[in-house]
Structure 1
Amino acid sequence: MTHPVQDSGAAPAGGRGRGLLAALLAGGTSVLAFAPFGIFPLAVLSLAVLAGLAARQTRARAGFALGFAWGLGAFLAGVSWLYVALNRYGGMPMPLAALAILLFCAYLALFPAAVGALFVRFGRGGAWRRALLFAGLWMGSELLRGWLFTGFPWLAAGYSQTPPSPLAGFFPVLGVYGVGGLVAFLAALVALTRWRSARPAAEALAAILVLSGAGFGLGRIAWTSPVGEPLEVVLIQTNIEQSLKWRPELLSDWLESNARLVRENPADLVVLPETTLPLLADRLPDGYLEELAAPVAARGGDVVFGVFLRDARGAIYNAALSLGASPSQSYAKQHLVPFGEYSPPLFGWFYDLVDIPMSDQTRGAPDQPPLRLGAQRVAINICYEDLFGRELIRSLPEATLMLNLSNLAWYGDSFAQPQHLQIARVRAMETGRPMLRSTNTGMTALVQPDGRVAEVLPAFMQGVLSVSVQGYEGLTPYARWGDFAALLLGVLALAVAGRLRRDGHARRGI
């Protein structure tokens, strides 16, 4: 093991500035590891820069600053497309929208900042100990970011490791947070190993090869198995411009467009995207729902579409409704988007600055069963919900298929569409189920249980994706354990790091 020498004092101001700039640029570069670029080794290299810079510090506040700079670069580069929703479609003035995004990214940057501070505070010892410490802290920070204030786990490091990354085989076992911890461990090991010394270099290289080989081997395991007959599915991408969707004078055009697309493309299952009917179901024209379902029901199939439902109490739900040969069923979105679909306490003033339709919604029940459509059990998730793997596995083992309805038109032509598809790939691997996606502007796709995108429509065009999809049964380890496995792995990494530190003190007589 190596024992890097700690700096004896504070770095000169110029050195601090260069370090912060390097961390900022490394964070921004990390976005290239995710879709649409998919240069997955950059996730390791980017975090290696952060770990290497932090390892040279002696004060926790310096580590905090480096982690904050890294996080600010990563989130400004990776999720600044949120600005489009606030400014272009929400009507928020440009300076306020830019400030809101900066503050939001600064909040997200606090999580890697905490990692940097704690890593410096407790990061003494050899490369292996410090790599375990960095990995455990990173897993903990991402788990917390995915939970606190309802969670925002977008750009969790693990998402960058979809196939062909050799670490992709760990998704069905450890989930996205566990894979992110492996990325952080490798990053710190790369940064802190003395590569010019034969033994440390050989040990680090062996660890990289073992983890890569284990991931490759796990990826060859079929955790779930096909069940039933294949289903002929039509996924419709309506491509309705967000600025036009809510204009009352165009409502009849949108209703006719949806009905026509279903009429021209009947199948066993026809799917329209989230809120494809931009009004409450009880305000639809008389006979419209019967017209929508008739061509699919005539061939013994069902249509599933996004619409707003209202219950007897007047509560409004962002929902999916099924009609056709099977009994009519519905699913109400459980995990709502703060500020977009509901107002957190004390933030009512936010809606004085923006104009977001249907922004006072109610959460659906957490224990909604899959929809029984023919011989399949289809678990619905709506848009943002598929960021939360621990919530999607509630439908297992009953569900044989996963179906996501989305509308990312709010974010324009941005990284949001390919990044969201990459998230769906991870959910498919975690659950061992195909993930069907019907979206308004992209990316409409079929993702297989191994994370492979079987077919996908180009974004920002109206189109129809006809696929034959096989249902699956059985449980992956992640479906059994959820995020507990990643949490346990993180705690174990910290415990081993702590033990190695105590052993090192004992050997030195401390």
Structure 2
Amino acid sequence: MRRGAASGAAAPAVALVVAGGAQALSLAWPGSGQPLWWLQIVSLAGFAWLLRRAPGALAAALRGWLFATAWLVGTFWWLFISMHTYGGLAAPLAALAVLGLAAFLGAYYAIASWCFWALRPKGRALQAIVFAALWLLAELARGVLWTGFPWGAGGYAHTDGPLAALARWVGVYGVGALAAALAMALAQVRPADVLRARAWLSVGALALVLWGAADVRERALAQEPASPPLGVALLQGNIPQDEKFQPGSGVPLALRWYGQELRAAQAQLVVAPETAIPLLPQQLEPGYLEQLRSRYSALDGTQAALVGIPLGSFTQGYTNSVLGWVPGAIEPYRYDKHHLVPFGEFIPPLFKWFTEMMDIPLGDFRRGGLGQAPMAWAGERIAPNICYEDLFGEELGARFADPQQAPTMFVNLSNIGWFGDSIAIDQHLAISRMRALEFERPMVRATNTGATALIDHRGQVTQRLPAHTRGVLLGEVQGRTGLTPFAVWVARAGLAPLWGLGLAVVALAWRRRRR
């Protein structure tokens, strides 16, 4: 009996780990790097099927935690590379840190699973709605609490596919909630349903709604562009991360290569990635920045540039910033990164001991303001964001509060070299694509090692440099005006409407359960 009981308990655990791994793979399939929307729904449906069969609330919570932990470890396992390979943390500690982070974040989904089991309504449609609301709340909690780390949210698997059409209305979290509802509905399908006309009518109605949403979106995308196409040159230096901040190798290479390309480029907008210049201004050779500034700030100039560089001092603090030079401007444009990476860019309280075990240069930045103004150039309002800031659509949305000053295009400056030749590059590309879908704005990406790419306002990658190569991507981009419904409500209320919707559904389910 004991052996049979153990075997019976092990089977769901193995299935949950497999389903969680499939959920991670759906975000960016190895090799192609493409997200697989159908795999995201099917793997989540597998979890939903097991959740409905949990013998109790505690077992349901454990199943939610196990699925989420496997999914999150499979999603951001590459943090091990940054901590061990480049940060110098011992391999066992680095692996334990990744597992610990996934387990901690998995607790949100454990709570959601416990609540689902406790509230579970009898009707199949109601079960799908309640599950979607709880999943939405778990995703929101992961994306907001403790500065938020929503990397790998389920909605990012839907940059292609039928649900992509809804991003302009509900954003990535809303898309993820709809996918969760579909997953729970799929988990409840019984063989007899295949023969029922009512079930097929429901499928047909859903397909009609999705087709209608896609049609509305295509009509909305017919709006006029902000200005004529803007020629861009995106610089990808491919400076090895273990050399990037070394004074005898990576630093002189970066200064020489980016300096040469910035002086030689002929595009209307030239972009060099995050910390392309890896030194504070006072550490540079005299005249280095002045030469670049004079190159782009001349009154009769026809080119502008955005360059990643740390600004400030070691005594008064420094920021992870972007300098912009525009013809005729007296002062350079400046953008300071607002949403910093825990441990990599700021030290959370009580964790200084942990960061001291790693060798991370410039590891304690000051935070920039929210909703910083875009850079005006060539009829465009160009809004920079640095590295994983494009993971927080609600923060990018703050720039749309004034429609007359809203960005017409985004520029992401990143250095994903910290994570080696891993799937993180393709996952980050999908994140940028989702932002383009939500706001219907092109996203220009200049990175150190990849993915340097042009993404149009439909969320499609139009051009891309191969990862881990040194080169310059030349292309054109057209900004867009007008506001999507998502941009309108997220600029005014942030994520509060989604929080309110999720909590309202849960409150109604709780009230119904009591009755």
TM more than 0.5: yes
Amino acid at match of 1:237: Q
2:55 paired with 1:24: no
User: Counterpart of 1:248?
Assistant: 247
**Cα deviation, residue 122, structure 1:** 1.2
Amino acid at match of 1:364: G
Q: Given that residues 132 and 494 in structure 1 are in contact (C-alpha distance below 8 angstroms), is that contact kept between their aligned partners in structure 2?
A: no
**Cα deviation, residue 295, structure 1:** 4.4
- Which secondary structure state, in structure 2, belongs to the residue aligned with residue 229 of structure 1? coil
Q: Given that residues 166 and 216 in structure 1 are in contact (C-alpha distance below 8 angstroms), is that contact kept between their aligned partners in structure 2?
A: yes
**Cα deviation, residue 175, structure 1:** 0.3
Amino acid at match of 2:356: D
User: Counterpart of 2:109?
Assistant: 112
User: Counterpart of 1:176?
Assistant: 172
Distance 2:154 2:314 in 1: 43
User: Counterpart of 1:376?
Assistant: 380
2:438 paired with 1:441: no
Amino acid at match of 1:490: G
Distance 2:313 2:50 in 1: 55
Deviations 1:262-311 (A, max 9, x none): 22322211000000111112222111113234444564211110001117
**Cα deviation, residue 372, structure 1:** 2.1
Amino acid at match of 2:125: W
Amino acid at match of 2:252: S
Deviations 1:119-143 (A, max 9, x none): 1111130211111110000001101
Alignment of 1:86-165 (within 5 A): 86-163=83-160, 165=161
Distance 1:221 1:254 in 2: 45
Distance 2:38 2:209 in 1: 14
Distance 2:359 2:182 in 1: 45
**Cα deviation, residue 342, structure 1:** 0.7
Distance 1:323 1:209 in 2: 49
User: Counterpart of 2:281?
Assistant: 281
Identity, in percent, stands at 40
Deviations 1:130-166 (A, max 9, x none): 1111000000110111000000111111110012x11
- Which secondary structure state, in structure 1, belongs to the residue aligned with residue 384 of structure 2? strand
Q: What is the aligned length?
A: 492
Amino acid at match of 1:303: A
User: Counterpart of 1:14?
Assistant: 7
2:323 paired with 1:321: yes
Q: Given that residues 119 and 513 in structure 2 are in contact (C-alpha distance below 8 angstroms), is that contact kept between their aligned partners in structure 1?
A: no
- Which secondary structure state, in structure 2, belongs to the residue aligned with residue 244 of structure 1? coil
**Cα deviation, residue 245, structure 1:** 0.7
- Which secondary structure state, in structure 1, belongs to the residue aligned with residue 306 of structure 2? strand
Distance 2:52 2:6 in 1: 18
Q: Given that residues 310 and 317 in structure 1 are in contact (C-alpha distance below 8 angstroms), is that contact kept between their aligned partners in structure 2?
A: yes
**Cα deviation, residue 312, structure 1:** 11
Q: Which moved more, 1:396-405 or 1:237-246?
A: 396-405
Q: Given that residues 25 and 74 in structure 2 are in contact (C-alpha distance below 8 angstroms), is that contact kept between their aligned partners in structure 1?
A: no
**Cα deviation, residue 320, structure 1:** 0.2
Alignment of 1:62-461 (within 5 A): 62-163=59-160, 165-197=161-193, 198=196, 201-202=199-200, 204-206=202-204, 208-222=206-220, 225-250=224-249, 251-297=251-297, 299-310=301-312, 314-327=316-329, 328-396=332-400, 397=403, 398=405, 399-461=407-469
Q: Given that residues 383 and 407 in structure 1 are in contact (C-alpha distance below 8 angstroms), is that contact kept between their aligned partners in structure 2?
A: yes
Question: TM (normalized to structure 1)?
Answer: 0.92
Distance 1:431 1:95 in 2: 42
**Cα deviation, residue 227, structure 1:** 1.4
Amino acid at match of 1:411: F
Q: Which moved more, 1:96-105 or 1:36-45?
A: 36-45
User: Counterpart of 2:477?
Assistant: 469
**Cα deviation, residue 496, structure 1:** 6.1
- Which secondary structure state, in structure 2, belongs to the residue aligned with residue 356 of structure 1? coil
Q: Given that residues 326 and 377 in structure 2 are in contact (C-alpha distance below 8 angstroms), is that contact kept between their aligned partners in structure 1?
A: no
**Cα deviation, residue 212, structure 1:** 3.0
- Which secondary structure state, in structure 2, belongs to the residue aligned with residue 300 of structure 1? coil
Amino acid at match of 2:430: Q
**Cα deviation, residue 331, structure 1:** 0.3
Distance 1:88 1:411 in 2: 9
Q: Given that residues 230 and 378 in structure 2 are in contact (C-alpha distance below 8 angstroms), is that contact kept between their aligned partners in structure 1?
A: no
Q: Which runs of 4+ in 1 moved over 6 A?
A: none
Amino acid at match of 1:409: G
Going from structure 1 to structure 2, the CA distance change for 1:106 and 1:211 (only over 3 Å counts) comes to farther
Distance 2:143 2:328 in 1: 36
Q: Given that residues 178 and 489 in structure 1 are in contact (C-alpha distance below 8 angstroms), is that contact kept between their aligned partners in structure 2?
A: no
Amino acid at match of 2:203: L
**Cα deviation, residue 199, structure 1:** 5.3
**Cα deviation, residue 208, structure 1:** 4.0
Distance 2:310 2:452 in 1: 21
Going from structure 1 to structure 2, the CA distance change for 1:218 and 1:350 (only over 3 Å counts) comes to farther
Amino acid at match of 2:226: V
Q: Given that residues 236 and 273 in structure 1 are in contact (C-alpha distance below 8 angstroms), is that contact kept between their aligned partners in structure 2?
A: yes
Question: TM (normalized to structure 2)?
Answer: 0.91
CA RMSD after TM alignment: 2.0
- Which secondary structure state, in structure 2, belongs to the residue aligned with residue 267 of structure 1? coil
- Which secondary structure state, in structure 2, belongs to the residue aligned with residue 471 of structure 1? coil
- Which secondary structure state, in structure 2, belongs to the residue aligned with residue 279 of structure 1? coil
Going from structure 1 to structure 2, the CA distance change for 1:440 and 1:131 (only over 3 Å counts) comes to same
In structure 2, stretches of 5+ residues that fail to align are: none
**Cα deviation, residue 418, structure 1:** 0.5
**Cα deviation, residue 216, structure 1:** 2.4
Deviations 1:455-484 (A, max 9, x none): 111100011111111121111111111234
Distance 1:386 1:156 in 2: 13
Distance 1:311 1:365 in 2: 18
**Cα deviation, residue 486, structure 1:** 3.2
Going from structure 1 to structure 2, the CA distance change for 1:231 and 1:323 (only over 3 Å counts) comes to same
Amino acid at match of 1:264: A
Distance 1:313 1:400 in 2: 37
Going from structure 1 to structure 2, the CA distance change for 1:216 and 1:485 (only over 3 Å counts) comes to farther
User: Counterpart of 1:487?
Assistant: 499
Distance 2:449 2:60 in 1: 41
Q: Given that residues 323 and 329 in structure 1 are in contact (C-alpha distance below 8 angstroms), is that contact kept between their aligned partners in structure 2?
A: yes
**Cα deviation, residue 394, structure 1:** 1.5
**Cα deviation, residue 436, structure 1:** 0.6
